[in-house]
Amino acid sequence: MDPPASPNLQTSTPNGNINLGPSANPNARPTDFDFLKVIGKGNYGKVLLAKRKSDGKFYAVKVLQKKSILKKKEQNHIMAERNVLLKNVTHPFLVGLRYSFQTSEKLYFVLDYVNGGELFFHLQREHCFLEPRARFYAAEVASAIGYLHSLNIIYRDLKPENILLDCQGHVVLTDFGLCKEGMEPEETTSTFCGTPEYLAPEVLRKQPYDRTVDWWCLGAVLYEMLCGLPPFYSRDVSEMYENILHKPLQIQGGKTVAACDLLHGLLHKDQKKRLGAKADFLEIKNHVFFSPINWDDLYHKRLTPPFNPNVVGPADLRHFDPEFTKEAISSSIGHTPDLTASSCGASSAFLGFSYAPGDENF
């Protein structure tokens, strides 16, 4: 089960901006938790299932090594991830940050815990989905991406590994490390980032790109849900890049006209002609493929998910890869180091990382 949302996590200032609350969180520390299992891994650390000792609530705690982040000069991405996570709490299909804190060596994101498994895990097991199931997931993901775009954030790393299911089977989008903030509708950026199978042609060409990269990725994920592999996949990465840039989209038989039309629209190699280029989420929402979806019911989770993960409680880890859950947990994760040993450089690089909602007691 997911922990209940903390009320008043965000408040608005008189000018309408989001007040992200106090940046210091001196009261939270690693020893507040029992770290139970590794449930995921990333470039700079791990995600662990943790139970807070004070009230027995379960959280997913993402633990990152400061040293690794500084070595790769990625501190700006980590701070952007923190900022985006704080804005997510109000949306039903985005994972929310409950609080964050740091030690001299590590950063800790305390996140909503969801245990229905990665979409990637379910796709691997079932190979592909029927259209109604793929439509449901694509609609919830599109709703989440549309919300991020409304905040002038582009996501840039949509893939099945970053789409989780909660205990009822609803989508929860996670991992905001590649998000770009401050992206007005007409604005472009040019950082080369993402995951090879899902890169849009303009990113590969190292051309300026806009928020339509997220709609390309939605097309790639939808294609994979329906066909079993990403649209231009090859084991040879350079061949795959050539396919993304030049090969026409080919769709297996048996797909509806609406599904084919949506895929061609989302996976248009010219970002200016791509579905979503003119009216963003509204274009996706109004496409005939989504005509069975009542978007208001979808947003309020009044639609029954097509698949129920059937988990029996927070400790049910059947939908997590055993490669993670069998791993031993390092004793340093739950250890609070002596802050006098703190490296000045590491501390100053992550100023403002720690966050505590005003209504929570630690």
Q: Could you tell me if 101 and 163 lie in one domain?
A: no
Q: Could you tell me if 133 and 245 lie in one domain?
A: yes
Q: What's the pLDDT band for 338 if we cut at 50, 70, 90?
A: low
The gap between the terminal CA atoms of the chain, to the nearest Å, is 21
pTM: 0.87
Does any domain span residue 356? Answer: no
Q: What is the pLDDT of residues 67-126, one digit of tens each?
A: 999 999 888 889 889 989 988 778 999 998 999 999 889 999 999 999 999 999 999 999
Average pLDDT, the chain: 87
Q: Could you tell me if 135 and 263 lie in one domain?
A: yes
Q: Give which of 119, 216, 121 is closest to 160, Cα–Cα.
A: 119
Q: What is the pLDDT of residues 34-56, one digit of tens each?
A: 999 999 887 778 999 999 999 99
Q: Could you tell me if 104 and 201 lie in one domain?
A: no
Whose tokens are 């329906």? That residue is: 226
Q: Could you tell me if 154 and 106 lie in one domain?
A: no
Does any domain span residue 229? Answer: yes
Q: Could you tell me if 255 and 218 lie in one domain?
A: yes
Q: Flag whether pLDDT at 18 surpasses 50.
A: no
Count of domains forming the chain: 2
Does any domain span residue 354? Answer: no
Phi and psi, residue 135, nearest 5°: -60, -45
Q: What is the pLDDT of residues 194-248, one digit of tens each?
A: 899 999 999 999 999 999 999 999 999 999 999 999 999 999 999 999 999 999 9
Query: Which tokens go with 314?
Result: 């927070």
Q: What is the pLDDT of residues 157-177, one digit of tens each?
A: 999 999 999 999 999 999 898
Q: Could you tell me if 132 and 245 lie in one domain?
A: yes
Residue 275 is part of a domain; what is its CATH number?
A: 1.10.510.10
Phi and psi, residue 91, nearest 5°: -105, 135
Does any domain span residue 241? Answer: yes
Q: Could you tell me if 136 and 256 lie in one domain?
A: yes
Residue 27 is part of a domain; what is its CATH number?
A: 3.30.200.20
Q: Give which of 162, 291, 286 is closest to 217, Cα–Cα.
A: 162
Q: Flag whether pLDDT at 1 surpasses 60.
A: no
pLDDT for res 355: 87
Does any domain span residue 190? Answer: yes
Q: Which domain holds residue 41?
A: 11-115+313-349
Catalytically active residues are 157
Q: Could you tell me if 207 and 79 lie in one domain?
A: no
Percentage, residues of the chain above pLDDT 90? 68
Q: What's the pLDDT band for 346 if we cut at 50, 70, 90?
A: low
In three-state secondary structure terms, 246 is helix
Q: Could you tell me if 166 and 287 lie in one domain?
A: yes
Q: Is 57 annotated as a binding residue?
A: no
Q: Could you tell me if 292 and 328 lie in one domain?
A: no
Does any domain span residue 206? Answer: yes
Does any domain span residue 61? Answer: yes
Question: Which of residues 268, 299, 330 is at a domain's end?
Answer: 299
Strand partners, 34: 51
pLDDT for res 307: 96
Does any domain span residue 361? Answer: no
Instruction: Give how far Cα 29 sits from Cα of 130, 132, 201, Å.
Output: 45, 44, 44
The segment with the largest mean pLDDT, out of 12-21, 59-68, 298-307, is: 298-307
Q: Could you tell me if 108 and 205 lie in one domain?
A: no
